[in-house]
Amino acid sequence: MAFLGTLLETFELIVLSFFYSIEALFRLLVPPRSKSVENETVLITGAGSGIGRLLSLEFARLKATLVLWDINEEGNEETARMSRDQGSPRVHVYKCDCGRKEDVARVAALVKKEVGDVTMLVNNAGIVIGKNFIDTTESEMQKVMDVNIMAHFWTYKAFLPAMIARNHGHLVSIASAAGFLTVNGFADYCSSKFAAVGFAESVALEMIAMKKDGIKTTIVCPSFINTGMFDGYKPQSRMLPMLDAKHVAKKIINAIRRDQPIIMIPRSVYFLVYMKSWMPKKVSILLAHYTRLFDVMKTFVGRKYN
């Protein structure tokens, strides 16, 4: 009987794997209809500039209610003004240091009291120090981890329970291609983004195990974006160009509206991740040389953080 059960399960695995593969191929040619976000309350961390601001403006055009978090009050207020001009029905602005647990808890409580349940959570806030690991201080490493991954834990704890209760919501992690592909001189950033990808994937599986099919997840893994975070980076390979921020924001919105579980930008990242998954270590090092990943730090400047 045990053998028969295993045989049936194996047959089911083969048939369904074939079916889902055909379905995925079909969806490449005929994408699913984009969902409306007009009745959603979207919280975006790091909304005061860069991708956070651009995502806010895209959601505003789609008439979503916005909750904007940033440590930069002036930048956040400017994003709010621009979002109102784009047509968002309600825009709520909060100063929040996403690298401090107490601040996240305090502001999350305010949001729940003043706005209500958040139905779409976009963890976008992120920083990078950009030094060789041996030169990175413990406090610098801790700051990167707090902003880039611990903030995800804290915001999920604050807003996911209400999504589970309603079986409705969307969790968006703005991670990075550095969550799959390591880069010389970015030990702080890569470790935090690997953690962000693993955390988001694990929680997604929890939602499936809990049969909460109304809660969607999207992991975003772009390469270098021209937002100022990676100032000084000069692309030396067409496989990893400097990405236009507006283009990336539109790609992210499309992925969210189509409930796409993961998106890598540009498409060459899919190829590089696939190659890394099976090639010998020495070949992967050759590939890193070919894509000039060893040369990133030669001109990197980045942003300065207090």
The edge-to-edge listing of strands for the beta sheet with 91-95 is 91-95, 65-70, 41-45, 120-123, 169-174, 215-222, 262-265
Residue 189 appears among annotated catalytic residues: yes
Q: Are 65 and 148 in contact (CB under 8 A)?
A: no
In sequence order, what E strands does 127-280 have? 169-174, 215-222, 262-265
Unique residue bearing structure tokens 């099976």? 278
Q: Are 84 and 68 in contact (CB under 8 A)?
A: no
Burial 7-24 (b: 16+ CB within 10 A, else e): eeeeeeeeeeeeeeeeee
Q: What is the DSSP letter of 243?
A: B
3-state secondary structure of 70: strand
Query: Any residues with CB less than 8 A from the CB of 260 and at least 6 apart, and which?
Result: 218, 254
- Closest alpha carbon to 136 in 204, 78, 81, 191: 191
- Of 20, 189, 270, 290, the catalytic one is 189
Taking the C-alpha atoms of 184, 185, 189 and 194 in order, what is their torsion angle to the nearest 10 degrees? 30
Query: Any residues with CB less than 8 A from the CB of 36 and at least 6 apart, and which?
Result: 62
What residues are labeled active site? 189
